[in-house]
Amino acid sequence: MENKPEGIQGEVDRRIIDKMLIRGEIDPDKMKEYLDSLPDVSENAEEIVMEMIENAEEVKDTEE
């Protein structure tokens, strides 16, 4: 993405961004401005349905 806040290069994990904000390496106002400038792509999301299994024995039963 273009116009990233100073100090951010490439793809950066959210946890790293949080640490950089805490350390003052990124200006929170510039970060907010950048995030607000990103397009809303929520319409591209697909619903994923998952079934939760309680224990490993149930996994073996379903595989057979």
Domain residue ranges in the chain: 1-40
pLDDT digits (tens, 9 = 90+) for 35-54: 898 899 999 999 999 888 77
d(CA 25, CA 17): 9
Task: Write down the pTM of the prediction.
Answer: 0.52
Q: Which H or E run contains 20?
A: helix 14-23
For residue 7, pLDDT over 70 is answered with no
Phi/psi region, residue 24 (left: phi>0; alpha: psi -120 to 50; beta: rest), is left
pLDDT digits (tens, 9 = 90+) for 15-33: 888 888 999 988 899 889 8
Q: Please give the single-letter amino acid code of residue 19.
A: K
d(CA 11, CA 7): 12
Q: What is the pLDDT of residue 1?
A: 42
